[in-house]
Structure 1
Amino acid sequence: MSPILVLSIIVGYFLVLLAISYFTSGNNDNATFFTANRQSPWYLVAFGMVGASLSGVTFISVPGEVGNTNWTYLQFVMGNMVGYAVIALVLIPLFYRLNLISIYEYLKDRFGIKSYLTGASFFLVSQTIGASFRLFLAALVLQLAFFDVFGIPFYITVLVTIILIWLYTFRGGIKTIVWTDTLQTTFLLLAVVISIFVIVNHMGLKATEVFSVVSKSELSTIFDLNWRSDRNFFKTFLAGIFITIAMNGLDQNVMQKNLTCKNKSDAQKNIFWFSITFFLSTLLFLALGVLLYKYAVDQQVLLPERSDEVYPFLALNEFGTIAGIVFLLGIVAAAFSSADSALTALTTSFCVDILDLQKSKKDQKKTRMLVHIGFTIIMFLVIIIFNAINDTSVVSAVFKVAGFTYGPLLGLFAFGLLNKRSVKDRFVPLVCILSPILSFILDSNSVEWFFGYQFGFEILLVNAAITFLGLLLISRGSIKN
């Protein structure tokens, strides 16, 4: 593709996002930035959340990972569906009843200030790492499609990308995100559908033959029943449930959008419809992965060694100009949809949870903007570090890290919801720090200690269980009603 064409696509898309930001940030105060004044239509939030949840990880990594692990990722997504039901039926009513801006305020009411700050801090670390991983993928594609042609280094690509995101989020915050996510989800889903159509056309397949080709492929194997495998169905399914609860229900990034709905009922409808759309969208991406590898075999195309580069490589070099344009729109939409909401959520959590900005006598708007800039810089640095050390599929890396960083959050909320015991608040940070350390030691030695067993995504459950046990050890009787 022509570098000028690539640049035109990126600039055009960014101008549309900037226009949305302009029209949605008229009442530019903290209430608008943090909660969108709780006036978001539930169906708009539900559709927009699809793009944010799929992100660059699904858009690039999931189709590429089909070549390594077949359709076993769908086992995880099946668990996701159960997790979303728990969020809708348990967490949404709780957060609306407490009228929260940051969901970690629950921990302050339940346990104390140190537990509250610990939960918020774990979110800040988790979200910074996860969002940076996702944005890394988009920057990598832009590097291959445009910046490499001019010899521009990768760190400049990352810097430009993250500055663009900051520009359209710094004023309107979550109110802008709800609307831009809707646009970005549309582009993302159009990209995968058109990509499938182009591949099918290149391979000379009839529409009626596509289902047969995908379903009969060895790459479409879903279930792995080997108990030693890190993709075993039972542990992957369970991990899907609890990672969804942790990374969505206990994540300020996702829940901040849900809490912009007018009431509890609308937020629950949003979760249920979103989860169905998310599942169907994942099926599309997995089907795309099978078709990508079949095309490469049929056309004798030598694929890149890294699975994350398979889809970008074929889309930009094999499928023609239209497919390349659609792919670029999709990856930019996926990256922006994930990173913009993460940046807004990080700003919200730090301002509300760490700085207690609502009670501050300082210039609240100025402080919020400085925090927004600070997290922009931090994400940039994390992406550069990740690029230097990454040697695995990003989809695996994101969830592996989540197992260690979201585990304490899951343990904290589970302990708070499942019993009425109070804890010695001053010891909670110690418990939450030791839990990931012990989990990492178990994960690193599992093959030797547990007869060849390998932890997969279920390391999250181990981490949460250790946190829960630690809280039980420092508990001291029931709280007063």
Structure 2
Amino acid sequence: MSPVLLFCILIAYFALLLGVAWATSRNATNDSFFIGNKSSNWMLVAFGMVGTTLSGATFISVPGAVGRDGFGYAQILIGYVIGYIAVVYLLLPLYYRLKLTSIYSYLDMRLGRRAYQSGAGFFILSRLLGATARLYLVVNILQVIILDSLAIPFWLTTLVILGMILIYTYQGGVKTIVWTDTLQTSCMLIGLLACVGFLFSQLDLTLAQSLAQMQERGLSRVFTSSPDSPSFWLKQIVAGIFIVITMTGMDQEMMQKTISVKTLADSQKNLLTLTLVLTIVLSLFLFLGGLLHLYAPLVGVTASGDQLFPAIVTGHLPAAVQVIFLIALVSALFPSADGAITALTSTTCIDLLGIHRPGYIGALGEGAKIRLRKSVHLAYAALFLLLVLVFKAIDSPSMIVVILKLAAYTYGPLLGLFAFGMLTTRILRDRLVPLVTIGAPLLCAVLELHQTQLFASYRFGLEMLMINGSLVFAGLYLISKKQH
């Protein structure tokens, strides 16, 4: 299909997003931007969060990784389900009871100002790196499919896409994102189903026959039994639990949408519904990966990893499916970036600058606070551009691995801080908290760098997140004292 036509379709899709943004952001205030005026519909939030959770990395990397890992991602998925249940019944009641706008305010109430700022700082770092890695993956594919042939440079593509995101999130924030994420998730799932349906028709197999062929080629294996392997089943399941607890339950972007629902009961229904839908969708992505690896040899495609899905779509699927794929891919791109920029803006304004606290900034008028929030929003968009260009220079063949690795290092301190606050009653020496939260990830990096010398055949996998959190917890215990 003509790149010019695909580009026009991309612009038309963005125009639709702008229409939704205009309809939802009229008369928006800071409360609309930060928590959607606490009036979001739980069903819309649940459905829209599917798109935010999956992102372009899932859309491209999970099917591509089936050739290397089989259905091994299902081990992590089992952990995800357990993790979501923990968030629903342990963390959400806490956030609603304390009536939080920023979830990191809990750390201020329980542990002190330095713990609060450390938690917010690590969220900013983790979301910056994770969201820009996801953004790079999809922008790079759009560049190859459409924009290279139009002689548009990568940096300009990224700049324009970030400008698009700014336009529709600049005013309405969460109030707008709840609706745009619902639209984007719908488009992404339609694209997924269309690609699965077309491959099924081309392979001319029944469900049982396709699974049998996947099993013959080792594509459907799920569990890894070797304890030394990074993919050992117990490591993966436990890691999945803590990935959800940290990357959803202790993540301001995800919780910002969840706590924008009016009542705790509806918020819990939101996350439980998300868990069910996510399980089905991720299982379908794994199945799609198996179909792609069965189809690729038949048409002579040798690409692998993140390049496999785009190579088959652009080279061997009909024009209608290519259009659906493009819209689905863009729909996977926007939720991972728009929510991240909005949440980073919220965390910076509320937790670091203290826009709601008594004091100089807190005493500003509503108009001045809105101008401050918009300035922070623009600054994060510029930082996103810079980091996407850095990931372009790195150019990893599997971004899902990079994203999970970054999460292990940056969410570990959040896990340790929240666990210490919830599981103990001890009082911290607050000024020493930054030393602990920075020192633990550095120690983890040393352990991983020298793992061959220290642990013979053992290799670290996603359990590094728990090790990191445990080191933070232990360090906080050492700098604390009993509460009298």
Identify whether the pair has TM-score above 0.5, normalized to the shorter chain. Answer: yes
Deviation at 1:8, TM superposition (A): 1.6
1:399 aligns with 2:404: yes
Contact in 1 for aligned 2:30/2:370 (Cα 8 Å): yes
TM-score by length of 2: 0.96
Provide the C-alpha distance between the structure 1 equivalents of 2:88 and 2:389, rounded to a whole number of angstroms. 37
Q: Give 5+ residue unaligned stretches, structure 2.
A: 357-361
1:475 and 2:480 aligned: yes
Q: Would the aligned equivalents of 1:224 and 1:232 in 2 still touch at CA under 8 Å?
A: yes
Cα offsets for 1:415-455 (capped at 9, x unmatched): 00001111100000110000000011111112221121111
Deviates more, 1:232-241 or 1:204-213: 204-213
User: Where does residue 322 of structure 1 map in the other structure?
Assistant: 320
| Structure 2: distance between partners of 1:183 and 1:391 | 30
Secondary structure of the corresponding residue to residue 454 of structure 1: coil
Cα distance in 2 for partners of 1:317, 1:387 equals 24
Report the Cα distance in structure 2 between the residues aligned to 1:327 and 1:240, rounded to whole angstroms. 28
Q: State the distance in 2 between where 1:151 and 1:420 align.
A: 60
Counterpart position of 1:348: 346
Q: By how many angstroms is 1:300 displaced?
A: 2.5
2:138 and 2:31 map into 1 onto residues whose CA distance is 31
Structure-1 residue corresponding to 2:260: 260
Alignment partner of 1:452 out of 452, 457, 464? 457
Please report how far the alpha carbon of residue 215 of structure 1 lies from its aligned counterpart in structure 2 after TM superposition.
5.4
Greater alpha carbon shift after TM alignment, 293-302 vs 409-418 = 293-302
Amino-acid identity (%): 40
Q: Is the 8 A contact 2:56 2:138 kept in 1?
A: yes
Report the counterpart of residue 122 of structure 2 in structure 1.
122
Q: How do 1:140-219 and structure 2 match up within 5 A?
A: 140-206=140-206, 209-214=209-214, 217-219=217-219
C-alpha contact 1:18 1:168 (8 A) present in aligned 2: yes
SS in 2 for 1:172: coil
Q: Aligned pair in 2 of structure 1 residues 392, 456: CA closer, same or farther (>3 Å)?
A: farther
Q: Distance in 2 between matches of 1:273 and 1:136?
A: 29
**2:301/2:311 contact within 8 Å kept:** no
The equivalent position to 1:426 in structure 2, one of 425, 428, 431, is 431
Is the contact made by 1:169 and 1:177 (CA closer than 8 Å) also made in structure 2? yes
CA distance in 1, matches of 2:395, 2:140: 12
Number of equivalent positions: 477
- TM-score, structure 1 normalization: 0.97
Superposed counterparts of 1:88-103, under 5 Å: 88-103=88-103
1:413 partnered with 2:411:
no
Whether the aligned pair in 1 keeps the contact of 2:211 and 2:220 (CA below 8 Å) is no
Aligned to 2:359: none
Please name the residue that 2:336 is paired with: 338
Tell me if the contact between 1:217 and 1:290 (Cα under 8 Å) persists in the aligned partners: no
- Which consecutive unaligned segments of at least 5 residues does structure 1 have? none
Range moving further from structure 2, 206-215 or 251-260: 206-215
Distance 1:140 1:438, change over 3 A: same
2:469 corresponds in structure 1 to 464
Per the alignment, residue 50 of structure 1 pairs with 50
Q: Which amino acid aligns with 2:352?
A: I
Shift of 1:214: 4.5
Question: Can you list the C-alpha shifts for 1:269-308, whole angstroms capped at 9, x where unaligned?
Answer: 111110111011001100111111110112222225xx11
Shift of 1:211: 4.7
How far apart in 1 are the matches of 2:301 and 2:122?
44
Determine whether 1:378 maps to 2:378. Answer: no
**In the aligned structure 1, how far is the partner of 2:232 from the partner of 2:77?**
13
Task: Map 1:244-283; keep pairs closer than 5 Å.
Answer: 244-283=244-283
| Distance change in 2, residues 1:247/1:173 (3 Å) | same
Secondary structure at the residue paired with 1:219? coil
Q: Which residue in 2 is equivalent to 1:435? A: 440
Residue of structure 2 equivalent to 1:312: 310
After TM superposition, give the deviation of residue 216 of structure 1 in Å.
5.2
* Rounded Cα–Cα distance in structure 2 between residues aligned with 1:215 and 1:178: 40
Residue 236 (structure 2) pairs with residue 233 (structure 1): no
Q: Does 1:10 align with 2:13?
A: no
CA contact (8 A) 1:195 1:327 kept: yes
1:323-367 deviations in Å (ceiling 9; x for gaps): 111111111001101111111101110010111112141601100
Separation of aligned partners in 2, 1:459 and 1:415: 18
Deviations 1:357-403 (A, max 9, x none): 12141601100100000000101101100110133410000010110
Q: How big is the alpha-carbon RMSD for the aligned residues of Structure 1 and Structure 2?
A: 1.3
User: 2:22, 2:64 → 1: CA distance?
Assistant: 37
Query: Is the 1:214–1:287 Cα contact (8 Å) retained in structure 2?
Result: no
How far did 1:156 drift?
Answer: 1.2
Distance 1:206 1:61 in 2: 25
Structure 2 equivalent of residue 223 of structure 1? 223
How many angstroms does 1:238 deviate by? Answer: 0.6
